[in-house]
Structure 1
Amino acid sequence: MRAIWKGSVSFGLVNVPVKVYAATESHDVSFRQVHAKDGGRIRYQRICSLDGEEVPYADIAKGYETEDGEMVILTDEDMAQLPSTSSREIAVEKFVPSDQIDPMLFEKSYYLEPEKSGAKPYALLRQALLDADRMAVVTVALRQRTTVAVLRVRSTDNGDVIVLQTMMWPDEVRTPDFSVETGEVKDAEVKMAHMLVETLAGDFEPSEFEDDYAEAVEALVTAKVEGGEVKKTAATTKTSGEVVDLLAALQRSVAAAKEARGEAPAEEAEEAEEAEEEEAPAKRATAKQSTAQKAPAKKAPAKKAPAKKAAARKTAKKAPAKKKAS
């Protein structure tokens, strides 16, 4: 794992230098929106709702919509004036009983690893939280915004670790706008409910639960791939086709230019070059001098220049690249 934040936990006069790591990662299955006919990806454009024109990123600003539908544009200068902080401190405000924190307030979880110099105070804080069965309510600045969070201890395969869990603000938790009318509940019904709970009672083992949906999707996709049910998208076909066509066009242009100069075809020229490379240096030098008229222009530019110009005029449409090179 890679640390995403470095700072220190401070409570009283004690500071514990720590590194922060993301404790969770999502394995959610994601799909692409495609054209069912050919598998082409669906692209979205940034279209202005007023003039119907596409808006480049450089012209996109932040806007705050008021309750009456008015739009307030906020510039970079406006955003810079907002209160923010870059503090590297996790400040403990108070220690509260663990059962007083509503799990609905929890948002994201992070592991805290102590720096070498903070190993002992880290261990002391961890033990104090365990013994008191309390959580530490803290304030911390993550992504330039102060948020409230808690510190608690979590048991892992590598031992007990202090976890930082950011929390939502109280006004971000919605209150249900409905009530549940149960009517009269009989004692016999309550007793049966208790029996059902006892029948299904047990300890929570996360390993007992699997994401069967993700596994099913993966198996389905694998089966379709093995069965040849794969759409060759236009983008993929076009790209590979362009490469092949470009390569073929270059080969034809080279062959046409050499033929116009009275030289051997490309394959014969390559075989000649390989044969020359296998000979001794002295013999290869002699061979180059004796075959100066057959060698490419780069081997004898002075003698071949007139011929190249004449050939270029005859094959201007076939090999424009060669004409430019001369």
Structure 2
Amino acid sequence: MRSIWSGAISFGLVVIPVKLYSATEQRDIAFRQVHREDAGRIRFRRFCTVDEEEVPYSDIAKGYELPTGDMVVLTDDDLAELPLVTAHRIEVLNFAPGDQVEPIMANKSYYLEPEEAGTRAYVLFRDALERSGKVAVAKVALRQREALAALRVREGVITLETLLWPDEVRKPDFAFLDEDIEVRPQELKMAASLIDTMTEDFEPDQYHDDYREALEALIQAKIEGNDVVRPDGIAPPPRAQLADLAETLRASVAAVKAERGKADGSGKADRSGKADRSSARRSTTPAKAETGDATRTRGTSRTRAKSETPAPSRRKKTA
């Protein structure tokens, strides 16, 4: 894992230097937006509506629009000068029973790893927090946004769970809440009985993303049926990249032996090397011609070999 933030836990007068890592990731299948007719990739440009020109990313700033349509422009320098105490500090405010932090307030989870100099203080805080059965309520600033957070212990590691602010959680406003709906005792008893019957320990590993698995199967079926489009201008991958592992290992062994033969300086090795080079020249000539023909092919073409198209990749999103 790669840390995305470094700072310190501020716990009273105790300061514990830590690194922060994303604790979760989304395993989505990676798609690109393409033109349906020829599979060409769709690209979006940053276009200014005033001067009608494309704008480089370095010239883009943040703008707050007023009711009049006027803009308040904020640059990176403006934001960097904001007096944010929690920019590099996880400031513990108080402790509270864990069940008082409602699940609906949960936003994103992170792992906290101690810096070497703060390991002992980290372990002390972790053990005390776990023994208390409480969560530490804190504030932290990530990506120019201050968030409320809850510190807990999971599998020996302190986790930081960013929380939504109270005004970010919507109030349920549904008509049935104001209606007097009668539920008969027998119905309630039967519903409770059904819940008891279906109750079991939560084992997340037994659940699967059926939609993602079906999507992967669909993509694989198209690959195996050669229903794959190669956009114009995209050359087929070199055959050297498509060799199987055994062939790659055999080629590596042959290369090492040839190198050792040169080092020996024997006449036999020299003659063998010339023969190998001559054979190599004969064997590579057709491959070059084949690659050239593939490069010169214009228009959209269908792939002919199953091995030329990789299996669907999964996109990992972290924050």
TM-score, normalised on structure 2? Answer: 0.66
Post-superposition CA distance 1:196-230 (Å, at most 9, x none): 11011111111011122222222211221121111
SS of the residue 1:27 aligns to: strand
Change in 2 beyond 3 A, CA 1:68/1:237: same
SS of the residue 1:236 aligns to: coil
Counterpart of 1:170?
Answer: 166
SS of the residue 1:24 aligns to: coil
Separation in 2, partners of 1:78, 1:64: 13
**Is 1:89 matched with 2:89?**
yes
Separation in 1, partners of 2:127, 2:186: 46
Separation in 1, partners of 2:117, 2:175: 54
Separation in 1, partners of 2:110, 2:217: 32
SS of the residue 1:198 aligns to: helix
Write out aligned runs for 1:243-262 (5 A).
Answer: none
Counterpart of 2:215?
Answer: 217
Task: Using the TM superposition, give the Cα deviation of residue 166 of structure 1 relative to its aligned residue in structure 2, in angstroms.
Answer: 1.3
Counterpart of 2:227?
Answer: 229
Separation in 1, partners of 2:106, 2:66: 29
Change in 2 beyond 3 A, CA 1:28/1:182: farther
Counterpart of 1:198?
Answer: 196
Contact 1:85/1:145, CA 8 A, preserved across alignment: no
Contact 2:86/2:140, CA 8 A, preserved across alignment: no
Counterpart of 2:33?
Answer: 33
Contact 1:85/1:144, CA 8 A, preserved across alignment: no
Write out aligned runs for 1:24-63 (5 A).
Answer: 24-49=24-49, 53-63=53-63
SS of the residue 2:202 aligns to: coil
Counterpart of 2:157?
Answer: 161
Counterpart of 1:259?
Answer: none
Contact 1:66/1:72, CA 8 A, preserved across alignment: yes
Task: Using the TM superposition, give the Cα deviation of residue 77 of structure 1 relative to its aligned residue in structure 2, in angstroms.
Answer: 5.0
* Number of matched pairs: 239
Separation in 1, partners of 2:181, 2:121: 55
SS of the residue 1:41 aligns to: coil
The structure with more radius of gyration: 1
Counterpart of 1:8?
Answer: 8
Counting aligned pairs with the same residue, the percent is 53
Post-superposition CA distance 1:44-83 (Å, at most 9, x none): 2333445655444454332212345543333455444444
Gaps of 5+ in 2: 239-272, 275-319
Q: Which amino acid aligns with 2:130?
A: L
TM-score, normalised on structure 1? Answer: 0.64
Contact 1:9/1:15, CA 8 A, preserved across alignment: yes
Task: Using the TM superposition, give the Cα deviation of residue 24 of structure 1 relative to its aligned residue in structure 2, in angstroms.
Answer: 0.9
Counterpart of 2:300?
Answer: none
Gaps of 5+ in 1: 241-276, 279-326
Pick which of 201-210 and 215-224 moved more: 215-224
Counterpart of 1:129?
Answer: 129
Q: Which amino acid aligns with 2:65?
A: E
Change in 2 beyond 3 A, CA 1:100/1:61: same
Q: Which amino acid aligns with 1:177?
A: D
Q: Which amino acid aligns with 1:19?
A: K
